[in-house]
């Protein structure tokens, strides 16, 4: 898996860690990279969040009284740090931390990488100075597309982006089976994640998991993925799970520095092709202003992305997915009885057709929130949930594998090294029964006690990856929280002796 790439939080300082995304610095519309600046004025930045909200039509929805209030958006990512813009009371709920960093108390739930915080801000960020209806606030007040929505954060990725597909499936299952617990109302699942699986979605365990979320009434919004990454290794075009036609797949656009949609073009980073499924909708995903986590990997190693003191700039289908997730929250506040199929059809049928992406003959449908505000949703396409989930977990990983001390996690084993029977797991998922208390696939992952706004009692049971024993119940002082990663880590090679060969977080650039 791979996020937009990240940074460390808290007392880790320069002990930053990074995931294996391919770094592609995109040029701005003027032909030059957007430079990092010590001071930043969003009023003159055409790619500011205020500009993005205006481009996608979010402000019109706010003025009509729709901010995403009452809708919970589950974000399965690298965690969320409580930076300004995400500190508003009631803005953030922490679900279980299923990452390898969960055993370090100073890291639990927090975004040591930076990807999750960036996405959370795009979806539902809200500065404390904001006032209803939010559109009257100036561009210096940060507001995500759905500033009234709540984020439910499930951390799966470490500061270097390291995460196994079994962690993703477990997290999706948790969202489905706890979607209405303790006052939660999860209607949207945002996945800026994907693997380059070589397996058909009908057999794929990850595709099956997202289909169960869809079946449960949760709109799954998934990133199309990186062009180069997804076209390699025999992958099927779009990233897994976006390649499953049952869910909502998103591509990224470049607004080219204007508020008009007439000159928008498909982002060259978006995976798509003539002979495969293409994104259902596209939206702006280039050069966006996102929330920054200080002392992050990005801070330390990619100062070109830093935008003033609070923000970072990023491009990719990750960002576009977060924007569409915010759109869906607005739609569901206004139309709470809509099914996921109806939401998908509402967005896709009323999208603006743009010119085809580079190298394609198919048109690019740009999501159009302004038009949707005045329309009444009608029936939705119901292709039918098709995945059986009885295929190979290893095939789902594609080329992405975790390793520790030279031991690679591969084959039909989960993150604990326990045998994974996809057919048996699919049967449990279909009955909302794959989680039993804090256990999934026979191992204790997380406690099942709700305490305030967090799930507590995370424990790992000391199992093994093919005989490579995890250090008791703690990872502190081990490779995930005590070492400095070196080398060209954004190229997906090796990180201080541990390989995280993954482009699984669907982004293209930080700039």
Residues taking part in catalysis: 77, 115, 318
Cβ atoms of 38 and 139 closer than 8 Å? no
Q: How far, in Å, CA of 71 to CA of 442, rounded? A: 32
The region that residue 398 occupies, defined by phi over 0 for left and psi between -120 and 50 for alpha, beta otherwise, is left
Q: Please name every residue paired with 33 in a beta bridge, in sequence order, or none if there are none.
A: none
Whether the bond between 385 and the residue before it is cis, its omega within 30 degrees of 0, is no
Give the angle 284-285-287 at the CA atoms, nearest 5°: 110
Q: Which two tokens stand for residue 38?
A: 């010590």
Residue 239 gets which letter from DSSP? P
Which of 355, 309, 352 has the alpha carbon at shortest distance from 39?
309
> Please, what's the b/e burial string for 273-299 (b: 16 or more CB within 10 A of its CB; e: otherwise)?
beeebbbbbbbbbbbbbbbbbebbbbb
Q: Please name every residue paired with 284 in a beta bridge, in sequence order, or none if there are none.
A: 253
For residue 31, the SS3 value is coil
Query: CB-side exposure of 458: number of CA atoms within 13 Å?
Result: 22
């Amino acid at each position: 898996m791979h996020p937009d790439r990240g940074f460390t939080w808290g007392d880790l300082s320069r002990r930053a860690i990074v995931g294996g995304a391919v770094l592609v610095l995109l040029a701005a519309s003027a032909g030059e990279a957007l430079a990092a600046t010590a001071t930043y004025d969003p009023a003159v930045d055409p790619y500011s969040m205020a500009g993005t909200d205006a481009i996608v039509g979010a402000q019109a929805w706010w003025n009509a009284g729709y901010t995403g209030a009452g809708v919970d958006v589950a974000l399965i990512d690298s965690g969320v740090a409580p930076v300004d813009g995400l500190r508003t009371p009631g803005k953030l709920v922490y679900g279980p931390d299923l990452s390898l960093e969960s055993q370090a108390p100073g890291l639990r739930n927090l975004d040591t990488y930076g990807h999750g915080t960036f996405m959370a801000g795009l979806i539902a960020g809200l500065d404390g100075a904001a006032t209803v209806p939010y559109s009257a606030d100036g561009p210096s007040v940060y507001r995500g597309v759905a500033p009234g929505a709540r984020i439910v954060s499930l951390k799966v990725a470490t500061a270097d982006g390291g995460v196994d597909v079994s962690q993703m499936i477990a997290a999706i299952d948790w969202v489905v089976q706890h979607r209405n617990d303790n006052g939660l109302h999860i209607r949207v699942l945002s996945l800026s994640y994907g693997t380059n699986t070589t397996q058909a979605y009908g057999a794929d365990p990850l595709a099956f998991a997202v289909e169960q979320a869809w079946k449960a009434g949760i709109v799954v919004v998934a990133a199309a993925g990186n062009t180069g990454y997804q076209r390699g290794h025999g992958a099927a075009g779009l990233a897994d799970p976006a390649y499953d036609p049952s869910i909502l797949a998103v591509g990224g656009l470049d607004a080219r520095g204007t508020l008009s949609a007439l000159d928008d073009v498909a982002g060259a980073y978006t995976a798509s092709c003539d002979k495969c499924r293409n994104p259902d909708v596209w939206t702006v995903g280039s050069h966006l202003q996102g929330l920054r986590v200080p002392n992050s990997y990005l801070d330390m190693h990619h100062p070109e992305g830093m935008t003033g003191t609070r923000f970072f700039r990023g491009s990719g289908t990750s960002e576009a997915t977060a924007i569409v997730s915010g759109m869906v929250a607005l739609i569901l506040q206004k139309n709470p009885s809509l099914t996921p199929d109806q939401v998908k059809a509402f967005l896709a049928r009323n999208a603006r057709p743009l010119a085809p992406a580079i190298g394609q003959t198919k048109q690019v449908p740009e999501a159009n929130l302004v038009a949707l505000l005045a329309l009444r949703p009608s029936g939705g396409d119901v292709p039918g949930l098709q995945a059986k989930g009885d295929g190979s977990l290893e095939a789902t990983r594609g080329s992405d594998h975790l390793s520790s001390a030279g031991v690679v996690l591969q084959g039909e084993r989960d993150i604990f090294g326990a045998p994974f029977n996809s057919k048996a797991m699919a049967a449990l998922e279909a009955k909302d029964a794959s989680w039993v208390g804090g256990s999934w696939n026979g191992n204790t992952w997380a406690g099942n006690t709700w305490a305030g706004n967090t799930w507590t009692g995370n424990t790992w049971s000391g199992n093994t990856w093919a005989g490579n024993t995890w250090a008791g119940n703690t990872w502190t002082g081990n490779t995930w929280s005590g070492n400095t990663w070196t080398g060209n880590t954004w190229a997906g090679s090796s990180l201080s002796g541990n390989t995280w060969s993954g482009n699984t977080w669907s982004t293209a650039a930080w700039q």
